């Protein structure tokens, strides 16, 4: 029997996803990362918080020591495109690496 | 009278002598004033002054030395600092041992370098290769070298990025986000995203993407135009399927697509993607293919579970216009006409108890996935395939994982099968 793929089935699939989301929101702990959403527009997040949330949503976090800041700048801008990060989040993450990577100081030109 | 004057003069002289004597005597007996120094004190002070002058000279010499050293270090830093053009080699590698029903057990290995090249401010180049070894039909060892990514992007502003080249097609997010073996918690791709799946991997064309923040939430978009897939019409075992490795377009019709994503929570992303294009070769007719995808990713630490929960799910639909395949000079099989609607998806969950104190347990990860891929039974290769997978992983480092999985595959046409896979995934 061939499956019928049409708008009705797509709507069912999307409904399933909505139910799954709702279940997670209802059961999820508010501890740990985040827990706030659209209504928290006024709140700001630190660079380390954005790093753990945005990068950690897909993969384990690499240690800041693994790359130099110059390398992190390349990697994070790459991930801005690959993971469609916002420009503001990208800057916050880079600022975090600037502070976290050992030996990073301002170099006079 | 004279006597009186003489007496007065004598008295005055006596008084004067007395006063002078008193003054002289006082000069010899009074204490010395505070602002006068003895020779010894003077010598001591002079010595101190000389010592301080010497110390000051040493300090100036030290400062000169430090300034010179600072200048030298700054010169070295400037000479060695990263330039505007920077290259970073990343990517992944894997080694696997597979035991599957009906096939000899086999080991395999591969590496996929990712070259990231920053060409000045705002310009980025991304190149990637899949390098693997296998045997050809004659049994000879061959090394496969596939270019999987080669694109240039320009960060136009905070909300728009433009790009061109060979890039990952964001129909769904598996290929874009979870493909590398050190990221995916299971040992292979979900069925819709596998080599015989219904979701494209990469394509050649142009794209624009960006993200817009809204408080703690964000919305993102990705739109593109590519050569698009090619409809296979002349293969009796695969007619009706789409070949996504269509790097030389087979018609003038281009494929348009895009994905809209939302991150209502930092830990959650949902998205909908769509792609449409003409896919038939010249002379075959007007055949369009509509692909749709819906995706959801959620990953967060859950204190109650003392670990991290990771939940991902995607749906993919492929609707290709009804067409008749064969016969022709190159397609000698009997004519086949069928509704070419396919669908697939997966639901996947993983849990890692990283908050527990035990060093072994905290690096374990359990995973589960149910995936499926349905194709018309009347189509060549058509089947209804459902697969269950369970996995147990051990993380040696954040980017190095030893994975194991057991998969049971149930199909309507093909025989049921199973596979046991051990895999080491490394993020470079």
A106/B contact by beta carbon, under 8 A: no
How far apart (Å, rounded) are the C-alpha atoms in residues B398 and A72?
Answer: 17
Q: B250 lies in a domain?
A: yes
* pLDDT of B20 higher than 50: yes
Can you tell me the mean pLDDT for B204-215?
95
* pLDDT of A30 higher than 60: no
Q: Which residues of B touch A61 (CB under 8 A)?
A: 398
Q: Is A2 helix (H, G, I), strand (E, B) or coil?
A: coil
Instruction: Evaluate whether B88 touches B116 at the Cβ level (below 8 Å).
Output: yes
Nearest CA in chain A to B304: A29
Predicted TM-score (pTM) of this structure: 0.78
Q: B4 lies in a domain?
A: no
How far apart (Å, rounded) are the C-alpha atoms in residues A59 and A62?
Answer: 9
Q: A70 lies in a domain?
A: yes
Q: Which residues of B touch A83 (CB under 8 A)?
A: 176-177
Which pLDDT band, with edges at 50, 70 and 90, does B15 fall under? confident
Convert the pLDDT of each residue in B241-297 to its tens digit.
Answer: 999 987 888 888 899 999 999 999 989 999 999 999 999 988 888 899 999 999 999
Q: Note down the domain range covering A53.
A: 46-109
DSSP string, B150-192: EEEEEE-SSS-EEEEEEEE--SSSIIIII-STTTSSSSS--GG
Q: Note down the domain range covering B362.
A: 85-427
Convert the pLDDT of each residue in B165-194 to its tens digit.
Answer: 999 999 999 999 999 999 999 999 999 999
What does the pLDDT read at residue A107? Answer: 41
What does the pLDDT read at residue A28? Answer: 41
Q: A40 lies in a domain?
A: no
SS in 3 state form for B270-303?
A: EEEEEEEEECCCCCCCCCEEEEEEEEEEEEEEEH
How far apart (Å, rounded) are the C-alpha atoms in residues B377 and B86?
Answer: 52
Instruction: Evaluate whether B170 touches B273 at the Cβ level (below 8 Å).
Output: yes
Structural domain count, chain A: 1
Nearest to A29 among B221, B304, B398 (CB): B304
What does the pLDDT read at residue A26? Answer: 45
Q: Which residues of A touch B362 (CB under 8 A)?
A: none
Nearest to A85 among B87, B211, B296 (CB): B211
Which pLDDT band, with edges at 50, 70 and 90, does A65 fall under? confident
How far apart (Å, rounded) are the C-alpha atoms in residues A71 and B88?
Answer: 6
Convert the pLDDT of each residue in B122-181 to its tens digit.
Answer: 999 999 999 998 888 788 888 999 999 999 999 999 999 999 999 999 999 999 999 999
Q: A3 lies in a domain?
A: no
Phi and psi dihedrals of B332, rounded to 5? -75, -5
Residues pairing with B397 in the sheet: B400
Q: Which residues of B touch A14 (CB under 8 A)?
A: 272, 294, 315
SS in 3 state form for A4-65?
A: CCCHHHHHHHHHHHHHHHHHHHHHCCCCCCCCCCHHHCCCCCCHHHHHHHHHHCCCCCCCHH
Instruction: Evaluate whether B125 touches B152 at the Cβ level (below 8 Å).
Output: yes
Q: Is B57 helix (H, G, I), strand (E, B) or coil?
A: helix
B201/A contact by beta carbon, under 8 A: no
Burial class (CB in 10 A: 0-12, 13-18, 19+), B181: buried
Structural domain count, chain B: 1
Provide the b/e sequence for B108-135 (b: ≥16 CB within 10 Å): eebebebbbbbeeeeebbbbbbeeeeee
Which pLDDT band, with edges at 50, 70 and 90, does A41 fall under? very low
Q: A96 lies in a domain?
A: yes
Q: B60 lies in a domain?
A: no
A8/B contact by beta carbon, under 8 A: no
* pLDDT of B34 higher than 70: no
Q: Which of residues 80-99 of A touch B (CB under 8 A)?
A: 80-89
Can you tell me the mean pLDDT for A7-32?
50
Q: What's B240's domain CATH number?
A: 2.40.160.10
What does the pLDDT read at residue B146? Answer: 92
What does the pLDDT read at residue B187? Answer: 95
Q: A10 lies in a domain?
A: no
Which pLDDT band, with edges at 50, 70 and 90, does A47 fall under? confident
What does the pLDDT read at residue B251? Answer: 81
Q: A107 lies in a domain?
A: yes
Phi and psi dihedrals of B155, rounded to 5? -80, 95
Which of A16-20, B175-179, B402-406 holds the top average pLDDT? B402-406
* pLDDT of B383 higher than 60: yes
In this structure, what is the dihedral angle of CA atoms B236, B240, B245, B246, given to the nearest 10 degrees? 100
Q: Which of residues 25-44 of A touch B (CB under 8 A)?
A: 28-29, 31-43
CA nearest neighbour of B291 among B379, B205, B201, B369: B201
| Lowest-confidence segment of A54-63, B222-231, B322-331, B396-405 by average pLDDT | B322-331
CA nearest neighbour of B123 among B75, B77, B165, B62: B165
Contact B343 A3 (CB under 8 A): yes
* pLDDT of B226 higher than 70: yes
How far apart (Å, rounded) are the C-alpha atoms in residues B263 and B271?
Answer: 9
Q: A11 lies in a domain?
A: no
Q: A32 lies in a domain?
A: no
Contact A57 B382 (CB under 8 A): no
Nearest to B374 among A3, A20, A80 (CB): A3
Provide the b/e sequence for B287-321 (b: ≥16 CB within 10 Å): bbbbbbbbbbbbbbbbeeeebbbbbbbbbbbbbbb
Nearest CA in chain A to B355: A32
Contact B118 A74 (CB under 8 A): yes
Cis ω before B327 (30° cut-off from 0): yes
Q: B227 lies in a domain?
A: yes
Mean pLDDT, chain B, whole residue set: 90
* pLDDT of A108 higher than 50: no
């Amino acid at each position: 029997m061939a499956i019928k793929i049409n708008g009705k089935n797509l709507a069912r699939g999307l409904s399933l996803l909505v139910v799954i989301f709702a279940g997670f929101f209802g059961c999820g702990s508010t501890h740990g990362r985040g827990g706030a959403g659209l209504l928290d527009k006024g709140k700001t997040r630190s660079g380390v918080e954005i790093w753990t949330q945005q990068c950690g949503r897909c993969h384990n976090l690499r240690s800041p020591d693994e790359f130099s800041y110059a390398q992190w700048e390349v990697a994070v801008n790459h991930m801005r495109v690959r993971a469609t990060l916002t420009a503001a989040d990208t800057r916050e993450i880079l600022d975090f690496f600037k502070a976290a990577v050992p030996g990073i100081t301002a170099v006079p030109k | 009278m004279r006597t009186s004057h003489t007496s007065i003069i004598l008295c005055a002289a006596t008084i004067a002598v007395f006063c002078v004597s008193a003054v002289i005597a006082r000069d010899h007996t009074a204490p010395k004033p505070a602002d006068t120094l003895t020779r010894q004190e003077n010598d001591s002070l002079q010595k101190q002054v000389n010592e301080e002058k010497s110390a000051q000279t040493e300090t100036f010499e030290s400062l000169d030395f430090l300034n010179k050293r600072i200048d030298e270090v700054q010169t070295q830093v400037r000479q060695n600092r990263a330039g505007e053009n920077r290259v970073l080699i990343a990517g992944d590698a894997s080694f696997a041992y597979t035991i599957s029903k009906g096939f000899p057990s086999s080991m395999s290995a591969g590496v996929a370098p990712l070259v990231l090249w920053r060409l000045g401010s705002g310009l980025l180049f991304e190149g990637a290769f899949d390098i693997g070894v296998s045997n050809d039909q004659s049994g000879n060892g061959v090394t496969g070298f596939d270019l999987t990514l080669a694109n240039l992007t320009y960060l136009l502003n905070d909300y728009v990025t433009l790009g061109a080249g060979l890039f990952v097609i964001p129909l769904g997010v598996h290929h874009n986000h979870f493909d590398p073996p050190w990221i995916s918690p299971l040992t292979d791709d979900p069925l819709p995203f596998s080599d015989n799946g219904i979701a494209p991997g990469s394509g050649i064309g142009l794209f624009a993407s960006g993200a817009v923040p809204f408080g703690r939430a964000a919305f993102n978009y990705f739109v593109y135009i590519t050569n698009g897939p090619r409809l296979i019409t002349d293969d009796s075992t695969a007619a009706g399927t789409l070949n996504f490795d269509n790097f030389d377009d087979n018609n003038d019709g281009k494929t348009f697509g895009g994905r809209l994503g939302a991150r209502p929570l930092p830990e959650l992303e949902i998205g909908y993607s769509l792609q449409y294009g003409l896919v038939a070769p010249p002379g075959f007719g007007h055949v369009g293919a509509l692909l749709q995808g819906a995706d959801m990713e959620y990953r967060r630490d859950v204190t109650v579970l003392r670990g991290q929960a990771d939940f991902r799910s995607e749906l993919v639909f492929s609707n290709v216009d009804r067409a008749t395949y064969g016969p022709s000079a190159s397609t000698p099989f009997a004519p086949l006409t069928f509704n070419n609607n396919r669908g697939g998806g997966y639901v996947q969950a993983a849990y890692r108890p990283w908050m527990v104190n035990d060093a072994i347990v905290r690096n374990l990860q359990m995973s589960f996935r149910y995936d499926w891929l349905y194709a018309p039974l009347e189509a060549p290769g058509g089947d209804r395939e459902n697969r269950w997978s369970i996995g147990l992983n051990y993380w040696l480092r954040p980017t190095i994982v030893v994975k194991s999985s057991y998969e049971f595959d149930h199909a309507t046409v093909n025989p049921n099968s199973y596979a046991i896979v051990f895999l080491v995934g490394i993020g470079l």
